[in-house]
Structure 1
Amino acid sequence: MKRVIFKFAVIISILSLVFAVSACESEKEQAVAPGHSTSSQKVKQADGEKIKVGFTMDTLVEERWLRDRELFRDAVRALGADVEILAANGDDVLQIAHAESLISQGVDVLVVVPHNAEATATIVKKAHMAGIKVMAYDRLVKNADIDMYVSFDNEQVGELQAEAITQLVPKGRYVYIGGAITDNNAHLFKKGVFNVLQPYIDSGDITVVFDQWTKDWTPANAKENMRAALKANNNQIDAVICANDATAGGVIEALAEQGMAGKIPVSGQDAELAGVQRIVEGTQTMTVYKPLKELTQTAAKIAVQMAKGETVAINRKVNNGKIEVPSVLLPPIAVDRSNMDETIIADGFHSREDVYKK
């Protein structure tokens, strides 16, 4: 009988040890949250296999996004990592498909320039289910547990635009031509603009007589908006604030049709070559320069840190409707004819020959 009791006690002890080990392993698995560094990543790094960054972009239509693609690719490779870049041409369904493709390829971190700030929340969920962290690049992803946001201070972009135009036209009839309503940055630009305009509006010095978004940011749509603004106001317009240089280009074409180009102050943003050439010519008043080399190098460095599970230093938290997103926001720079040489040209963003057409 004693032997039976002894054997039973031994069996109980062994089973207890097995359950304890299983519980320990379970706790270890639970400690790895979705999107955080996993043991497979550590094995990859230990074996010397390169980290792979996936980059899904909204579009390559505008000049600046071509620059982002090339500079980001160079910055990631300079850090010893690989990068796969796909552009969705403004198609939400295609962008989600691109993200799924990058996830299936086993990228270590996913970087997203969203076409639609809301729709791309799906991408974040899919990546996190695969244990992959997600960074929003330049445009915030709304209502999602995004891991990181790297951009410029986009509200300040709008403030710089409005400050430049109100210095020239402190009283008058204003037109605001915004960006795409689906782009969260467009809302931030507009918020910044009206931060500056509101006191003038409240005092009665400025009246905003036309305020419209521009579908897909296209110059053609901006041109039609401006034509509508001019028609509705019998050409009685004193200033135009445009969300970027592409929309400013369309607006200036509409003004030129009425013989008003160069007579009405027009703002822009992105420091596109066509935009800075218009500043030199006198048909566009200013642009906002966002040093893309700094942005791409910062984003690449952080993406690699995220892939390795390293701590990332942030300077802001931005609410995306769901969480306070850890963020790194860089300062933009207002540029007009007076400081063109010491900013855009000095940085090599555009050559002096191209800007001045010499």
Structure 2
Amino acid sequence: MKQTFMKVHILLFMLVFILVVTACQQNKSRLDHQDMPDDSLLNKETSASDIEADDKIVIGFSMDTLAEERWLRDRELFKEAVEALGAEVKIFTSKGDDALQILHAENLINEGIDILVIVPHNAESTAMIVKKAHAAGIRVLSYDRLVRNSEIDLYVSYDNEMVGELQAKAITKLVPKGKYVYIGGAETDYNAHLLKKGVFNILQPLIDKGDITIVYDQWTKDWHPENAFTNMEEALKANHNEVDAVISANDATAGQVIQALAEQGLSGKIPVVGQDADLAAAQRIVEGSQTMTVYKPLKKLADQTAELAVKLAKGEEIEVERIINNGKSEVPSILLSPIAVDPKNIDETIITDGFHSREEVYKKNNSN
């Protein structure tokens, strides 16, 4: 009996001991929970800190080329505009290589940019970049050149069809009848097609009347000026130098067209038009070997694109007045108005704007 009592006593003691220890542990657990910050709260605080540190909008800028004067300007002006808005820009140039441009864009997307701005080399193949960016939740803005067959978020450019119309209007005033040569841009660049469409909006009625005959019409592969030189040589040879006017897709190609004419003693005798208002073109206009160019104030384009890119990155709504079909979707578009420049207004346009200085433009002419 006594042994049974002792066993019960021991069991009761052990039970009480276990209850006390358990209560202490639970109490300690509650104290520990109160003393230590909650894991989710810690994560929230860390995330907030990270967001504050990384609040700067990062824009990826994928460019086709820097081989021409205007694209060097675009790069610097866009960088300045982005940084003036408190954002950051990462710039890659693909040198006319489609595969490299796609690789660069993938790298930018993987780096976690907020928005991608792209100047496509190939308007068709670049659609792959848009798809990859969207899959990563990144919106895409097409700068100056339209990406085809994709659901691009916004397109900002000068009205390229109007550029072609300005070229054709200027040259048909000088040569209302005759044999015309058309030296286009790169066939892979949709802008080149828009330029050509604008040109033929003006030329076609005159062609239909029989006043104008297109005796040579060729694209310039990759916009390389040396290809334009070859094309113009072929045009002159095929027509025994009997050409009355030349429309060239831009100033770089126009320069080589004029070089080909010069080798035949025809520079300054046959009107040649271009676009971009390159310094060399402005000098040629002053000296008389190029008839006109089309000025597209690049600062205005860069500033507006930078502003819109930041808004897109923040998820803000953008109102547009133009919609352009790119073969797959209706693309919200903002198209700025270009300006025709000839010897009569060169001072009040590109020189007054500071695009080129008077000394630069007239230097070559004054040295003669």
TM range (shorter): 0.7 to 0.9
Contact 1:315 1:329 (8 Å CA) reproduced: no
Gaps of 5+ in 2: 1-46
Distance in 2 of aligned mates of 1:102 and 1:95? 11
Residue of structure 2 aligned with 1:290, choices 293, 296, 299: 296
Counterpart amino acid of residue 157 in structure 1: V
Two-structure CA RMSD over aligned residues (Å): 1.4
- The change in CA–CA distance for 1:288 and 1:107 in structure 2 (over 3 A counts) is same
Determine helix, strand or coil for the equivalent of 1:170: coil
1:42 Cα offset (Å):
10
Q: 2:256: which partner in 1? A: 250
Number of aligned residue pairs: give it. 318
Residue 229 of structure 1: aligned partner: 235
**C-alpha distance in 1 between matches for 2:49 and 2:74:** 31
Equivalent-residue separation in structure 2 for 1:59 and 1:116 (angstroms): 12
Identify the match of residue 97 of structure 2 among 88, 91, 94. Answer: 91
Identity within the alignment, %: 69
Query: 1:314: Cα distance to partner?
Result: 1.4
Within 5 Å, give how 1:174-189 maps onto structure 2.
174-189=180-195
Alpha-carbon separation, structure 1, partners of 2:171 and 2:362: 23
Q: Distance in 1 between matches of 2:162 and 2:130?
A: 27
Equivalent in 330, 339, 345 of residue 339 of structure 1:
345
SS for the counterpart of 1:49 is coil
Counterpart residue number, 2:280: 274
CA displacement 1:27-50 (0-9 Å, x = unmatched): xxxxxxxxxxxxxx9997666620
Q: Is the 8 A contact 1:52 1:109 kept in 2?
A: yes
* 1:282 Cα deviation after fit: 0.4
Runs of 4+ aligned residues of structure 1 deviating over 2 Å after TM superposition are 41-48
Which is worse superposed, 147-156 or 45-54? 45-54
What SS does the corresponding residue of 1:209 show, helix, strand or coil? strand
Name which one, 1 or 2, has greater alpha-carbon Rg: 2
Change (3 A) 1:224 1:42: farther
Residue aligning to 2:315 = 309
Alpha-carbon deviations, 1:4-60, whole Å to 9, x = none? xxxxxxxxxxxxxxxxxxxxxxxxxxxxxxxxxxxxx99976666201000000000
1:51 to 50, 54, 57: 57
Match of 1:211 in 2: 217
1:66 maps to 2:43: no
Counterpart amino acid of residue 293 in structure 1: K
Secondary structure, in 3 states, of the residue corresponding to 1:67? helix
Q: 2:296 and 2:51 mapped to 1: Cα distance?
A: 34
Matched residue type, 2:328: K
2:139 counterpart letter in structure 1: K
Q: How far apart, CA to CA, are the structure 1 residues paired with 2:48 and 2:352?
A: 42
Amino acid at match of 1:145: E
Is the 1:317–1:325 contact (alpha carbons within 8 Å) kept by the matching residues of 2?
yes
Q: Is the 8 A contact 1:45 1:51 kept in 2?
A: no
Are 1:259 and 2:304 an aligned pair?
Answer: no
